[in-house]
Structure 1
Amino acid sequence: MATCFVSKGCFVFKPKDSKKRKISVTADSFIKGKAVSENDRLRFSTYVSLWQQMKEETESLQENLNEKIFDNLLSFIKKSNIQLHSKQNDWSYRMRCSEIPAAAVVLGVNVPDHEMTFQNLSDLLKQSLTPHVVCLQGKECTTVKHVLQKVLINLMGGTVNDEEEDEEGVHHSVHFSQRKMHCSMASLAGWYSATTQKSTSNSPSKKRKSPSLGQEQSPPIVIIFKDLESFLPKVLQDFIVISSNYIQQLPLVLVFGIATSPITLHRMLPHAVSSLLCIELFQSLSCTDHLTTVIDKLVLTTKFPFKLNGKVLQVLISIFLYHDFSVRNFVKGLQLSLLEHFYSHPLSLLCCTPDEANARVQNLTHDDCELIRQVPSFMGYVDHQDSEKQVKLLTNDQYLKDDVQKLLTDLHIYHQNYFPILKCLHVSTSSLPKYPLGKQIRELYITCLERNIWETEEYSSAFQLLGMMAKDELVCLLQKCMEVLKSFKQQTAITEAMQKLEEFLTNFQKLDDVAAVAEVKENEDQKTSPRKSLQEKTDLYQLQKTLMEMKKSRRSKKLSRFEVLRKEVLEFLDKLVRQYLLPPETQPLHEVVYFSAASTIRRHLNAAPRTALQTALSNPYYYLQNDVLRSEGGSITNTAPDICIVYKLHLECGRLINLYDWLQAFVTVVSAAEEKDPDKMSNGQVDEVLHARFIRAVSELEFLGFIKPTKQKTDHVARLTWGGL
């Protein structure tokens, strides 16, 4: 039998409707199993409500962070448009007539977040300034013609969205635009002139002397280049040169989204082209600062009862720092953690506000009470109680419910005291040399979650450095701690800490009043000091006596008033840390609100493609969950998909695989599944259907990178991987 060549084709079939499909979690998909209890539905509704609150908080935070840069961009675009309509023969008007206003927006390397930022900017421009906004991506604009097509389609079509429009719709819009007028900048100028004249004729007002009114009737055309680094320099240069010839007819404003550095724009554009632009630089907030704000609002707060374990938080931060710098993906990881917590933990229905938790505890069933008794932290809590209370907790459900209510309230109070003291400790140590406890509060928080912070060497080093602080530095530190605690003063413990800090500040102020008196006294003591006597006495015996007195006085030197007060301040801070920064594992029922499955989050977010492929090919039951596909050890299941059979057969071969032998082995396995005798083949030929199935499976295996064709032997393929799972 002649061998067949392995197919090398790769075909892409686009669906008719390529609109983005949002995968939503429903109650049916959230709850598995036939028996669905009321607690299960309550868990799902709690998850939905809690995530909605966190999502709204994130969106509000995003708006506040982008507010400044968006306001500056709007002001820049408005000013550029006003200059176009200005009739004064001034310098700005002459510059505006010869240059295109361009905003270089440096957003940072968190590229996945740029899409949301530009979408918000586009919506804001359309709502407040101009309906003519076009967003372009480098992968869609490989030529100047494509750039003009995208601009014309988005402006003249009005309803066309390149990300959500199907392929037929795009072609129809392009055909419609080109049929009506040529795809050129002159066509855009004619369309804009007709549009502005039409809006002017439809306007009821006859007087248009107001600059703002004229600006509304001739709104600017804003073209946003989302990813400047992805555009071909030649395409960008040609488009800018063409646009500069129509700047007096079209109020164009260009916005360049830059991920790296502003110098990228000058590297892509030579001086002859960059001189046609009037560039203004806009800098957004760094992604690390953005992450710090998100963690402060979503994690380091008692507003949301859900909390992350130290290992889970470390996984999310590691993915952020070493993969994409995307705050958006960090929030998605937080959502996944929330979903996994409510999905996998039956007692997560108590992860809610204290009032709701108290009401739900009283509605717990006997089975729910048994689940509580099996929680590790609660078992440790029971072990530390007296024998009488232990019996009640293990046998009396109502007594258990009352005690659980108290424990959940204590857990809430624990968090109310935890975060203020944590922020105070961060404020106190974040400015120390070499940052022994970390520069960012997230580093300190992870350390506090995993162990007793006061038992670490870094903590001792930090307090040694604090013990060498000057008076001004220490007073400034106490004032910062006071500002942190003011937002948490509803707690009794926090109020007492604030009063103690105020007392320390008052004592430091009193030191200034007694400084003059102390200085006079010190001068008097110096007159009779051993050092003064040392200068007067010359006798050897007296000299030896004086030196001994000096050595003794140095050993028994008394601390000054400031040193005593500084020591008291540090002892008070250390007391607060030891009292309120205990790890969550020390709190009973912390499993109710803390999510600790770090391996699950790592597996979902930090995927290992090779491991997943080998698992799917060697054990298809892992993903398909079909009992027919179960196999023991390394045996080959004849009911498995063709590619799985071919994969397992290729594991038994060496570096070179004979295609004919491989085919015969495949036919033998498949024929056993179909209850056919492989020896009874007509004329010794393999069935065409089985042959085609084998070629397809081998082609898929080649596409995945497990094999490749080889020139050593024409009827062989080379194996590229070794070993399996």
Structure 2
Amino acid sequence: MSDDRTLEETTFSIPYAGGDDEPSPANLPGAPKDELGFPESHERRFETYRKAWSTCLDRIQSIVKQLLEPHIEAVIQQVEDDSAVPGLPHPELPVISISNPVFGASFLNDVCSRLDTPSTHLYPSDCVNLTSAMRALITGLVQDTDDDIPRVKHKVSERLANYDINYLAAWYKHYVSTQGSRPVLLAVLHNFEEFDPTVMQDVFYICSQQLPELRLSFILSLSTPLPTYLHIVYPRATLACLRIRTVAIPNGLSVLNEILLQTFFSPFFDSDVILGPAALEYISDFFTRHNRTLDSLITLIQLVYMKHFSVDPLTSLLYSTPSTPSPALLEAALTSILATNETAVDGISGEDAAKEKIIELIDESRSKIQNRYKSIRIAFHLTRLMQLFFVREGYKGLAWNLENDLCAIFGGMFLKRKEKSSGLERSLGYLSLILKKLNPDQLHRLSHEIHEFLQSIDAEGDENLKAAQTEFSDLTQGQASDENSKTVAAEMADWVDDFLRNLLLERLEDILLWEVWYTGMTPFPSELVNPSIRASLLSGLLRPLEFASPSSTSPNANTPGAKVAEMTTVVSDESLWRLPDTSILFRRYLDSGRLINVYDWFESFQAVLETQREEVKKERARGKGRGRKNGGSSSPSKGKGRGGGKASAAATPKRSPTKKARQSPTKNQKGKQRQQPEEGDDGMDEGEDDEEEEEETEEKWQIEVQARFIRALHELDYLGFIKHTKRRADHVARTVFDINDE
């Protein structure tokens, strides 16, 4: 490194001089311990996850499409309707305002795809000033139809600027002449609150001056209530040029509740994976507080699915049981069965009989848990139906907040009534009390709604549900007269109370192998959604050995610090010299003040590397000593005295053939006398060679230390731990303080 280079420079060039190092093989993580005995588990679980998640995602997408379809049609109708109000002094620019924080760009993309008209999408970064805004608008509309109409070539001197509105007018005239129609030119403005109002005022004014020659129309995507933002921010002169129309689409918790009601809460859709109260509560809380978008909701549900299938290998049994399951899988299933019911396999003798019994219990649990889950959903929907009816009729009902607490209410259905004695048990009793107070007309309308709900449920294979449908139909046949209305009300209240209690009698956790289909109280993997980046960085720098498993650590022997990495797989303590270079430098970083002298920092780093170098040499020497010991024990014994000396000499490291020839004496004594002076000369030459080799090795070591220091320094700089200062060229400033390194 030359003297004119300082640490204020952001880039250093270190040319590659070549080398004999071979590329190290990729260190792929091995299979988790809980999967080693399940040869069919990994791939089968992945395929099962894909099938379950595809079913859930298709259901959500169909619900979203059903929710947005009428609103898409309304927007399309507003765009195509450009009829002007008669009697105005000047034409108004059509503007459609949409409050769209949940569905984001997907809703607007669907609108544009359904419209057979030129369109462009504008973002705040495209419209920093008037010139860039007009250029983005015009070029976006022109380029959207390049494949439909031929280009007309002009001289450079005759071309209009691509930000001139007259350029768009001339292009539109040519488009109409070639296509024979006058389509609407649609501009979609995403995140309209982030646009500069002064720029958009000029854009709206310029575009309004070209009406009706140009059929321009704007769609504004807002996240604020309609149309408050436009009336507050933009002046009256700008609003006078616009014909603002609003389209209200579902937003906020209504979208979340609708999706959950038609997927995991619906008795008309069988979800393959049952979300427990913990997952539902976290999804609702995160959607309400942090990110009210459809993408975030889908991501949260997918993370629950991924964790469910990654935690338990038994989830491979979600859909079916293998014809020949592995012994490890059967053993795991048996362990789970006995944890729920210790007498489930009593009286079974023989390996084949036990295997058949376990498979039979798995199949029974699969159908039983789905029926139990369906019963919970029926109870929830029936209770919700009655609550909504009571509120419409002016009763307080159960005092449920079905908009904000829908997930908590449904999650309470999973718990035992004894555990929710102050909640669910009280709610069931209060429902019966309100039912008995209804007048004949209210009772008739409520019974009609309950009857329609029960008849709409598919009761195939469920004899209890079929019997309940028949009983309720017989119960409500004779309630037309006012004389027996109180009797019918009391009978209906008793029937509803018994029906709901029977539906909620058993918990899902009481069913064998419930963890295969039900997430239970497993916490949501929140660290995947909102990771603590600062804590992760500091933990990795302070405790790097805890992040490297011995099974996945196989460094190349030729790389710097390879021996140290090999030793860390055996020794568990975190001595400073055992850490990676970046962690060593970071430890010295913590010992410094606000400003760090780079040279002192380098000296402290070099001292640690010297210790590391000595420890590696000691480890090599111990390894060679063990090798000599093993070699001596395997060779035949030659006795003590001189013979022993010859044996030890034979165990010394081999030299090059030339040096070995110089040092090996001949058998006669005269030869030895004649070679004595030559041996002395060779000893002097070897001493000089050793000194030169040591100097060369030391020089290479110093260069290596400098290179490793620069690399570690760049990594800390990249992570944002240091800041360069121009006041002192040989100093850098700390950016992170108050770190607990204990």
**For residues 42 and 693 of structure 1, do their structure 2 counterparts lie closer, same or farther at Cα, with a shift above 3 Å needed?**
closer
Match of 1:328 among 274, 295, 308: 295
Does structure 1 retain, via aligned residues, the 8 Å contact 2:382–2:450? yes
Q: Are 1:116 and 2:109 an aligned pair? A: no
Match of 1:496 among 450, 467, 475: 467
Name the structure 2 match of 1:239. 203
**For residues 636 and 569 of structure 1, do their structure 2 counterparts lie closer, same or farther at Cα, with a shift above 3 Å needed?**
farther
Name the structure 2 match of 1:594. 518
**For residues 632 and 37 of structure 1, do their structure 2 counterparts lie closer, same or farther at Cα, with a shift above 3 Å needed?**
closer
* Aligned-partner residue type, residue 601 of structure 1: P
Q: SS of 2:738's equivalent?
A: coil
Name the structure 2 match of 1:664. 603
Q: Are 1:98 and 2:62 an aligned pair? A: no
Q: Which deviates the most, 709-718 or 50-59?
A: 709-718
* Aligned-partner residue type, residue 738 of structure 2: T
Q: SS of 1:457's equivalent?
A: coil
Task: Give the Å deviation of 1:621.
Answer: 5.2
Taking the TM superposition and a 5 Å limit, the aligned residue runs for 1:210-289 are 217-261=181-225, 262-289=227-254
**For residues 622 and 691 of structure 1, do their structure 2 counterparts lie closer, same or farther at Cα, with a shift above 3 Å needed?**
closer
Task: Give the Å deviation of 1:374.
Answer: 1.6
Q: Which deviates the most, 655-664 or 670-679?
A: 670-679
1:265-324 deviations in Å (ceiling 9; x for gaps) = 122211000110111111001231111121123322443311112212222222111111
Does structure 1 retain, via aligned residues, the 8 Å contact 2:277–2:408? no
C-alpha separation between the residues in 1 aligned to 2:178 and 2:307? 56
Does structure 1 retain, via aligned residues, the 8 Å contact 2:120–2:144? no
* Aligned-partner residue type, residue 175 of structure 2: T
* Aligned-partner residue type, residue 443 of structure 1: A
Q: Are 1:297 and 2:252 an aligned pair? A: no
1:188-241 deviations in Å (ceiling 9; x for gaps) = 1111111111123xxxxxxxxxxxxxxxx1110010111111111111111101
Task: Give the Å deviation of 1:439.
Answer: 1.7
Task: Give the Å deviation of 1:73.
Answer: 1.0
Match of 2:538 among 592, 605, 614: 614
**For residues 698 and 53 of structure 1, do their structure 2 counterparts lie closer, same or farther at Cα, with a shift above 3 Å needed?**
closer
**For residues 681 and 443 of structure 1, do their structure 2 counterparts lie closer, same or farther at Cα, with a shift above 3 Å needed?**
same
Does structure 2 retain, via aligned residues, the 8 Å contact 1:657–1:717? yes
Task: Give the Å deviation of 1:604.
Answer: 0.8
Task: Give the Å deviation of 1:700.
Answer: 3.2
1:422-448 deviations in Å (ceiling 9; x for gaps) = 211222345463854542442211122
C-alpha separation between the residues in 2 aligned to 1:279 and 1:408? 56
Does structure 2 retain, via aligned residues, the 8 Å contact 1:348–1:593? yes
TM-score, L = length of structure 2:
0.72
Number of residue equivalences: 603
C-alpha separation between the residues in 2 aligned to 1:453 and 1:138? 56
Name the structure 1 match of 2:382. 424
Does structure 2 retain, via aligned residues, the 8 Å contact 1:244–1:276? yes
Q: Are 1:186 and 2:149 an aligned pair? A: no
Q: SS of 2:48's equivalent?
A: helix
Match of 1:72 among 51, 71, 74: 74
Name the structure 1 match of 2:451. 482
* Aligned-partner residue type, residue 105 of structure 2: E
* Aligned-partner residue type, residue 310 of structure 1: P
Does structure 2 retain, via aligned residues, the 8 Å contact 1:663–1:694? no
C-alpha separation between the residues in 2 aligned to 1:398 and 1:177? 87
Match of 1:370 among 326, 331, 347: 331
Name the structure 2 match of 1:433. 396
1:358-390 deviations in Å (ceiling 9; x for gaps) = xx3543233221111121xx214432448425x
Taking the TM superposition and a 5 Å limit, the aligned residue runs for 1:537-556 are none
Does structure 2 retain, via aligned residues, the 8 Å contact 1:710–1:716? no
Does structure 2 retain, via aligned residues, the 8 Å contact 1:348–1:592? yes
C-alpha separation between the residues in 2 aligned to 1:658 and 1:187? 61
* Aligned-partner residue type, residue 328 of structure 2: D
Name the structure 2 match of 1:22. none
C-alpha separation between the residues in 2 aligned to 1:655 and 1:571? 75
Q: Which deviates the most, 295-304 or 425-434?
A: 425-434
Task: Give the Å deviation of 1:583.
Answer: 2.8
C-alpha separation between the residues in 2 aligned to 1:322 and 1:422? 25
**For residues 638 and 464 of structure 1, do their structure 2 counterparts lie closer, same or farther at Cα, with a shift above 3 Å needed?**
same
Q: Are 1:382 and 2:341 an aligned pair? A: yes
Q: SS of 2:423's equivalent?
A: helix
RMSD of the TM alignment (CA)? 4.1
1:589-633 deviations in Å (ceiling 9; x for gaps) = 111112358446212113222222223322345666553376745
C-alpha separation between the residues in 2 aligned to 1:723 and 1:143? 47
Does structure 1 retain, via aligned residues, the 8 Å contact 2:545–2:574? no
C-alpha separation between the residues in 1 aligned to 2:476 and 2:157? 73
Name the structure 1 match of 2:576. 636
5+ unaligned residues in a row in structure 1: which ranges?
11-27, 84-90, 161-175, 201-216, 515-560
**For residues 660 and 486 of structure 1, do their structure 2 counterparts lie closer, same or farther at Cα, with a shift above 3 Å needed?**
farther
Name the structure 2 match of 1:61. 63
* Aligned-partner residue type, residue 373 of structure 1: L
C-alpha separation between the residues in 2 aligned to 1:478 and 1:436? 21
Taking the TM superposition and a 5 Å limit, the aligned residue runs for 1:659-698 are 659-672=598-611, 688-690=706-708, 692-693=710-711, 695-698=713-716
Match of 1:645 among 575, 584, 592: 584
Higher alpha-carbon Rg? 2
TM-score, L = length of structure 1:
0.73
Does structure 1 retain, via aligned residues, the 8 Å contact 2:134–2:163? yes
C-alpha separation between the residues in 2 aligned to 1:392 and 1:566? 58
Does structure 2 retain, via aligned residues, the 8 Å contact 1:30–1:44? no
Q: SS of 2:247's equivalent?
A: strand
C-alpha separation between the residues in 1 aligned to 2:726 and 2:425? 64
Name the structure 2 match of 1:573. 496
Q: Which deviates the most, 44-53 or 271-280?
A: 44-53
Task: Give the Å deviation of 1:671.
Answer: 4.9
* Aligned-partner residue type, residue 508 of structure 2: P
* Aligned-partner residue type, residue 311 of structure 1: A
Name the structure 1 match of 2:739. 722
Q: SS of 2:739's equivalent?
A: coil
* Aligned-partner residue type, residue 442 of structure 1: C
C-alpha separation between the residues in 1 aligned to 2:412 and 2:233? 45
C-alpha separation between the residues in 2 aligned to 1:410 and 1:499? 23
Match of 1:699 among 717, 720, 741: 717
C-alpha separation between the residues in 2 aligned to 1:159 and 1:290? 36
Taking the TM superposition and a 5 Å limit, the aligned residue runs for 1:308-327 are 308-327=275-294
Task: Give the Å deviation of 1:263.
Answer: 0.8
Q: SS of 1:455's equivalent?
A: coil
Does structure 2 retain, via aligned residues, the 8 Å contact 1:122–1:133? yes
Task: Give the Å deviation of 1:342.
Answer: 2.6
Does structure 1 retain, via aligned residues, the 8 Å contact 2:387–2:397? no
5+ unaligned residues in a row in structure 2: which ranges?
12-27, 147-155, 554-564, 617-693
C-alpha separation between the residues in 1 aligned to 2:472 and 2:589? 73
Does structure 1 retain, via aligned residues, the 8 Å contact 2:119–2:144? no
Name the structure 2 match of 1:212. none
Name the structure 2 match of 1:540. none
Name the structure 1 match of 2:626. none
Q: SS of 1:402's equivalent?
A: helix
Q: Are 1:396 and 2:363 an aligned pair? A: no
**For residues 407 and 35 of structure 1, do their structure 2 counterparts lie closer, same or farther at Cα, with a shift above 3 Å needed?**
closer
Q: SS of 1:374's equivalent?
A: helix
Name the structure 2 match of 1:415. 373
Name the structure 2 match of 1:537. none
Q: SS of 1:224's equivalent?
A: strand
1:57-79 deviations in Å (ceiling 9; x for gaps) = 22222211111111111111111
